[in-house]
Amino acid sequence: MRFEGLDLNLLIALDAILEERSVMAASRRLHLSQPAMSAAIGRLRQYFNDEIFTISQRKLVPTPLAQSLEKPTREILLRIRSNLISPPKFDPANSERRFRLVVSDYASIVLMHAVMKHVYRIAPRICLEILPFSDRVDDQLQRGEVDFVVIPDISLIEGHPSQPLFSDDFCCVAWTGNQQIGRSISLSRYLRLGHVAAQLRPIRGPSFDERALVQLGYRRRIEVIAPNFTAMAAMVIGTERIATMHRRLATIFARSFPLKLLRAPVPIPAFREALQWPASFHMDPAVVWLREIIVNVASEIDRTPAAQMRIL
């Protein structure tokens, strides 16, 4: 199909090459032979009267014109997918749709566990693929490679719609056998004890608790850096270390593990999780359906006091 002399199939080839930066990889992605992909590049060069790519260290390097085409090309293809190719109706009971969601382990337990149970009851053939955060999350959202991102509202990605979900605050977590801590913890002891902290990717500035400490001029001693929030709780067990965790998650763990929860001795502002999705998917019936489920589940969580949180 042509539009003002441009074969629209070339946009698919251009998008693949811009992302892969390799004729071979783009060929595999589109199930084309390398000669066919090379021919597509030739036709793109002829249409735009530009080299489109040069070769540097065995990689394709886009020209300034090709770089300027990357975003509009992707947006055009996403709109075609969501508005023309996607079916006008969505039947969850019979759908085998795969949704891809970028969610922290915290939100996976507090929010997505309940969402998955709800989806399973009414749409048992649907697949929910939970992906960890990476330094590509902005690009994944922009390119429509994921359907949703669950993220604190202060870290929302510009240019995409969002919906607030639920709020939470923080508490201290210690092993029940920790003789250094009773029913409460003083600031001096909080700063003196070793801490377990989480380091996530991508880093978007200091964590909520670290930011609060820095603003007050305090510095804690971090002795263990965990890969995620879930591991933080397990890593204080059997030690005299403490962790500062999301209260809803800590409450859930304390029902199953020998943990005690204490009020943090420094004021740490509460935060709100939010849901974000690609702007080009805003009217996709399947995305709208799952979005409503997530928001409804989150509303129930928001109405539930943190002390009553549990996994059923």
Q: What is the mean pLDDT of residues 198-204?
A: 66
- Give the model's pLDDT for residue 169: 94
Query: How far is residue 277's CA from residue 162's CA, in Å, rounded to a whole number?
Result: 7
Q: What is the mean pLDDT of residues 276-298?
A: 90
- Give the model's pLDDT for residue 120: 95
88 pLDDT above the threshold of 90: no
- Give the model's pLDDT for residue 87: 53
Higher pLDDT, 142 or 92: 92
Residue 137: band (very low, low, confident or very high) from pLDDT cuts 50, 70, 90: confident
Q: In Å, what is the CA distance from 233 to each residue of 86, 111, 252, 267, 286? A: 43, 18, 11, 21, 36
The full set of domain ranges for the chain reads 2-85, 98-167+272-308, 170-269
- Give the model's pLDDT for residue 75: 75
Residue 286: band (very low, low, confident or very high) from pLDDT cuts 50, 70, 90: very high
User: 170-269: which CATH topology?
Assistant: D-Maltodextrin-Binding Protein; domain 2 (3.40.190)
Torsion on CA atoms 176, 178, 180, 181, rounded to nearest 10? -20
Exposure string (b/e) for 196-216, b if CB count within 10 Å is 16 or more?
bbbebeeeeeebbbbebbeee
> Is there a common fold for 98-167+272-308 and 170-269?
yes
Q: Which CATH class is domain 2-85?
A: mainly alpha
Average model confidence (pLDDT) across the chain = 85
Query: How far is residue 148's CA from residue 157's CA, in Å, rounded to a whole number?
Result: 12
- Closest by alpha carbon to 208, among 297, 270, 142, 132? 270
Give the list of residues 6+ apart from residue 294 with CB closer than 8 angstroms, or none. 111, 115, 148, 165, 275
Which range (152-161, 176-185, 200-209) has the least confidence?
Answer: 200-209
Strand ranges for 57-169 from DSSP E = 59-62, 98-102, 127-131, 148-152, 162-168
- Give the model's pLDDT for residue 130: 95
Q: What is the mean pLDDT of residues 256-281?
A: 92
Tokens read off for 248 = 């809803």
- Closest by alpha carbon to 63, among 44, 46, 47, 50? 50
Query: How far is residue 275's CA from residue 298's CA, in Å, rounded to a whole number?
Result: 10
Question: What would the pLDDT profile of 48-61 be if each residue is shown by its tens digit?
Answer: 888 888 776 667 78
- Give the model's pLDDT for residue 250: 95
Query: How far is residue 147's CA from residue 97's CA, in Å, rounded to a whole number?
Result: 11
Residue 90: band (very low, low, confident or very high) from pLDDT cuts 50, 70, 90: confident
Q: Using CA of residue 16, residue 17, residue 19, residue 25, what is the dihedral sign?
A: positive
Give the architecture (CATH level 2) of 98-167+272-308. Answer: 3-Layer(aba) Sandwich (3.40)
Helix (H), strand (E), coil (C) string for 170-199: EEEEEECCCCCCCCCCCHHHHHHCEEEEEC
What string of DSSP letters covers 199-211?
A: --SS--SS-HHHH
Higher pLDDT, 165 or 43: 165
CA atoms within 13 A on the CB side of 191: 10
Strands 98-102, 59-62: pairing is unpaired
